[in-house]
């Protein structure tokens, strides 16, 4: 399988090169040249299989020609052995047709662990094969950073630099990033918001000489391998609920559009998905875009779901590419508009294509708190604020008799203040993190300026240009 850039001006690459590249050299995002498609019979055969077996079957076409099957299987087994639940991503029924898909049984209690544990192993494998090292950079609104630091800590071939917005992540999220004792880990508090952090990461990738000198690689969902790994749980949950002989809908708490784009990919691969519902918090740029056809940035509001406090939703670019029939010129024009004026219009045809596949809704801060409280009262289930946004929006898009799965993207203990204020319950961290808040912190604070961040990374990375 090879990968093409959404902006059409970078060379197409094989899997491992796309993995190490992160962002394409033309600023675009890599997508597979074509979607592998599974027949109904092949999907039916996934029933009753383990998460690891399904991951191997579903993901193999994406790495074919690049990674030997037995090596890929070993990476999958090792990655998911870090999960604390035998099913990796169990389904929990919360209503007659309502389910939550728990994606928070990994080491850092958010869905990011699912992809990040595999990504770290894939990168080690690709770097070892080339005898190279890499400097990993990532931007986080709270969860990607912790998951990446956990997955890459102590790895010989990589140094990792995570930019998080100072004062805008939960205390648990911050500690997960700042208490690592591994020498290859660097947590950086940026004086700005998540979009500033993400812009800095993209700017470093677009600075070709810095990129080459530092051998930059990325762990955000701009990296195709992140999306790829997230496709698996749509398959595992859908076949459990009767796919391919029944259509399943999914509601996804959405920020950077990576998780829901993985659902779209699963559908393109033949999975019988009915509705794909985008759920946003008060930073509702995606819900507004679906309604009006205009993607228009506004100021970011701080909410109780900080991981979704995002305006520049990176993976929407991958959807635009598909919705425009893979016309890279149309994507370039939209992205130029976004850079120049903070907005772009989606043409009628593309908008129609997007609306055919997606619905969207938003939850206000009051609605999030009420959903946490009411779900607890009616089912005994305690949601984190991000998952609560999903459950609130899902309820508005359920169809009688059709299963609706909401992705539960984080454990409530990552956001104890918001959960306690909504429900009265103080959710406890699991035993392996019980002393997290007593661990010593280590991080640097930098202005949101490209020169400062590049100088810091240049001084601290073991990759020397
Ligand atoms: C807990 C949680 N829920 C939802 C999201 C949104 O996911 P995505 O950015 O893939 O849309 C994030 C951050 O990405 C998150 O950390
Ligand atoms: N919500 C994310 C933001 C970054 O998203 P990513 O999926 O592109 O890595 C976070 O928690 O950091």
**pLDDT one-digit tens code per residue, 103-112:** 999 999 999 9
Whether 271 shows a pLDDT value over 90: the answer reads yes
Give the position, in ligand 1's atom list, of the atom nearest the Cα of 143: 16
Rounded CA-CA distance 457/462 in Å is 9
49 alpha carbon – ligand 1 mean position (Å): 27
Partners of 362 in the beta sheet?
280
Q: Is the CB of 255 under 6 A from ligand 1?
A: yes
What was the pLDDT predicted at 307? Answer: 94
Per-residue DSSP letter, 258: H
Q: pLDDT of 77-89, one tens digit each?
A: 999 999 999 999 9
139 alpha carbon – ligand 1 mean position (Å): 12
Q: pLDDT of 44-72, one tens digit each?
A: 999 999 999 999 999 999 999 999 999 99
Whether the complex's predicted ipTM is more than 0.85 is answered with: yes
Maximum C-alpha span of the chain: 60
Q: Nearest residue CA, atom 9 of ligand 1? A: 256
Q: pLDDT of 127-172, one tens digit each?
A: 999 999 999 999 999 999 999 999 999 999 999 999 999 999 999 9
Q: Which parts of 309-449 fold into alpha helices (H)?
A: 316-323, 328-341, 348-357, 365-379, 385-395, 416-423
338 alpha carbon – ligand 2 mean position (Å): 20
Name the residue of 387, 409, 412, 415 to mutate for ligand 1: max ligand atoms within 8 A of Cβ: 409
Average pLDDT of the residues of the chain = 97
Q: Nearest residue CA, atom 12 of ligand 2? A: 140
Rounded CA-CA distance 425/429 in Å is 13
Q: pLDDT of 308-323, one tens digit each?
A: 999 999 999 999 999 9
Closest CA to 65 of 21, 22, 17, 23: 17
Q: Nearest residue CA, atom 7 of ligand 2? A: 221
Give the position, in ligand 2's atom list, of the atom nearest the Cα of 164: 12
Identify the burial level of 209 via C-beta atoms within 10 angstroms of its C-beta, where 0-12 means exposed, 13-18 middle and 19 or more buried.
exposed
H or E element that contains 161: strand 158-165
Q: Is the CB of 410 under 6 A from ligand 1?
A: yes
Ligand 2, pocket residues at CB < 6 Å: 140-145, 220-221, 255-256, 258, 307, 314
Q: Is-catalytic flag, 291?
A: no
Q: Is the CB of 258 under 6 A from ligand 1?
A: yes
C-alpha to C-alpha distances, 122 to 52, 55, 76, 128, 225, nearest whole angstrom: 15, 14, 9, 10, 9
Give the position, in ligand 2's atom list, of the atom nearest the Cα of 145: 12
Give the position, in ligand 1's atom list, of the atom nearest the Cα of 414: 1
What was the pLDDT predicted at 464? Answer: 72
Per-residue DSSP letter, 110: B
401 alpha carbon – ligand 2 mean position (Å): 33
Rounded CA-CA distance 179/162 in Å is 13
Could you report how far apart the first and last alpha carbons of the chain are, in Å?
31
What was the pLDDT predicted at 384? Answer: 98
Q: Is the CB of 411 under 6 A from ligand 1?
A: no
Contact 111, 226 (CB under 8 A): no
Rounded CA-CA distance 221/383 in Å is 24
253 alpha carbon – ligand 1 mean position (Å): 6
Q: Is the CB of 159 under 6 A from ligand 1?
A: no
Name the residue of 223, 256, 358, 389 to mutate for ligand 1: max ligand atoms within 8 A of Cβ: 256
463 alpha carbon – ligand 1 mean position (Å): 30
Rounded CA-CA distance 174/420 in Å is 19
Per-residue pLDDT, averaged over 177-182, amounts to 98
Q: Nearest residue CA, atom 13 of ligand 1? A: 307
254 alpha carbon – ligand 1 mean position (Å): 6
Q: pLDDT of 436-451, one tens digit each?
A: 999 999 999 999 999 9
Closest CA to 179 of 447, 433, 453: 433
Q: Nearest residue CA, atom 4 of ligand 1? A: 253
65 alpha carbon – ligand 1 mean position (Å): 31
Name the residue of 145, 221, 384 to mutate for ligand 2: max ligand atoms within 8 A of Cβ: 221
Q: Is the CB of 280 under 6 A from ligand 1?
A: no
Active-site residue identified among 40, 112, 168, 247:
112
Q: pLDDT of 206-255, one tens digit each?
A: 999 999 999 999 999 999 999 999 999 999 999 999 999 999 999 999 99
Reported pTM: 0.97
Beginning with the edge strand found earlier in the chain, give each strand of the sheet holding 248-253 in spatial order: 91-93, 98-102, 404-408, 248-253, 273-280, 358-362
């Amino acid at each position: 399988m090879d990968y093409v850039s959404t902006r059409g001006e970078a060379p197409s690459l094989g899997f491992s090169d796309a993995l190490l590249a992160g962002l394409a050299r033309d600023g675009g995002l890599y997508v597979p040249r074509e979607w592998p498609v599974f027949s109904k019979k092949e999907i039916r055969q996934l029933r009753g299989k383990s998460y690891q077996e399904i991951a191997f079957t579903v993901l193999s076409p994406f790495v074919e020609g690049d990674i030997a099957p037995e090596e890929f299987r070993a990476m999958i087994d090792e990655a998911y052995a870090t999960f604390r639940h035998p099913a990796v991503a169990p389904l929990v029924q919360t209503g007659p047709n309502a389910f939550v898909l728990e994606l928070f049984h990994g080491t850092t209690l958010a869905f990011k662990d699912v992809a990040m544990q595999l990504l770290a192993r894939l990168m080690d494998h690709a770097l070892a094969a080339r005898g190279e090292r890499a400097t990993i950079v990532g931007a986080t609104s709270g969860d990607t950073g912790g998951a990446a630091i956990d997955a890459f800590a102590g790895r010989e071939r990589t140094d990792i630099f995570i930019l998080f917005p100072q004062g805008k992540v939960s205390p648990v999220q911050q500690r997960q990033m700042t208490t690592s004792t591994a020498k290859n880990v660097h947590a950086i508090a940026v004086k700005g918001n998540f979009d500033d952090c993400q812009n800095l990461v993209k700017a470093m990738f677009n600075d070709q000489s810095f990129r080459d000198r530092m051998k930059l690689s990325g762990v955000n969902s701009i990296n195709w391998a992140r999306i790829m790994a997230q496709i698996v749980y749509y398959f595992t949950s859908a076949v459990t609920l009767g796919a391919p002989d029944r259509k399943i809908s999914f509601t996804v708490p959405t920020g950077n559009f990576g998780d829901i784009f993985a659902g779209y990919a699963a559908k393109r691969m033949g999975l019988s998905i009915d509705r794909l519902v985008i759920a946003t918090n008060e930073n509702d740029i995606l819900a507004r875009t679906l309604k009006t056809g205009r993607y228009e940035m506004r100021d970011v509001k701080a909410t109780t779901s900080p991981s979704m406090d995002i305006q520049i939703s990176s993976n929407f670019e991958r959807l635009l590419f598909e919705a425009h029939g893979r016309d890279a010129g149309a994507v370039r024009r939209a992205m130029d508009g976004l850079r120049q004026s903070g907005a772009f219009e989606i043409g009628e045809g593309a908008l129609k294509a997007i609306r055919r596949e997606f619905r969207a809704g938003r939850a206000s801060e009051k609605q999030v708190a009420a959903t946490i409280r009411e779900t607890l009262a009616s089912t005994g289930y305690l949601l984190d604020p991000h998952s609560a946004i999903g459950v609130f929006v899902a309820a508005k898009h359920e169809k009688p008799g059709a299963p609706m799965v909401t992705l539960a993207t984080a454990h409530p203990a990552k956001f104890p203040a918001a959960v306690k204020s909504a429900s009265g319950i103080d959710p406890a961290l699991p035993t392996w993190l019980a002393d997290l808040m007593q661990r010593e912190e280590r991080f640097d604070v930098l202005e949101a300026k490209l020169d400062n961040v590049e100088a810091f990374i240049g001084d601290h990375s073991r990759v020397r240009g």
